[in-house]
Amino acid sequence: METDPRPLRVAIADDALLLREGIAKVLVDGGLELVASVGTGAELVEIASRGDIDAAVLDIRMPPSYRDEGILALEEMRAQGSTIGVLLLSMYATPEYALRVMGTGSGTGYLLKERVSEPQTLVRAVETVASGGSVVDPEVVEQLVQRTRADDPLSRLTERERSVLELMAQGYSNGGIAQALFLGLKTVETHVRSILQKLDLEESPEHHRRVLAVLTLLGAR
């Protein structure tokens, strides 16, 4: 008889103890295993270097400067070769931060802290980045969609393709997109192929192409 796979091992970094405890409860209740809960990005980088975790959830603004310590920690982990999933949390929907986060490659995400009160959203986001996918908060996606210009690459997309791309940015799989938009799976696959072609994204592993598509959305001005 096959045993169940082990739960995802997660670490949390945030200087606010109460928020750490809230995030921990959501993740543990969602079936994930909490390995560590720390107050700085430097501590998280050390934990990631030991290979003990599958994913990390961390605040963007932490000591000492309360500016971009979380992103700096992410960049350091990637520079060290870590491929764990990393989900950044922020109080504000800042497209520039989201672009910088997603620019580090696959397995990354950017969510607003208010999503902590949406357990399924937070747990799904952690699972998505741990599997190499990408997640961008829907509020950030909405801001970017409203700011796009007529000469942006996104102008090549149909309204339905734009909807599919927005859900891709939020970390939905093709099956999840099909359910959300009430479409057949093959129809979604056709839309995804069309999006990647229209955005002139070269052939490469699927996750990488999806991240590039999200970056195109994030880079729209």
pLDDT tens digits for 126-144? 999 999 988 989 888 777 6
What pLDDT, on the 0 to 100 scale, is given for residue 148? 56
**Phi/psi of residue 82, each to 5°?**
-70, 135
Per cent of the chain over pLDDT 70 is 89
pLDDT tens digits for 71-128? 999 999 999 999 999 999 999 888 788 888 888 888 999 999 988 888 999 999 999 9
pTM of the model: 0.73
DSSP letter, residue 221: -
Mean pLDDT for the chain overall: 86
- Looking at the predicted structure, is the pLDDT value of residue 65 above 60? yes
Strand order through the sheet with 85-90: 33-38, 9-13, 55-59, 85-90, 108-112, 135-136
105 CB burial (10 A radius; 0-12, 13-18, 19+): middle
Q: How confident is the model at residue 169 (pLDDT cuts 50, 70, 90)?
A: confident
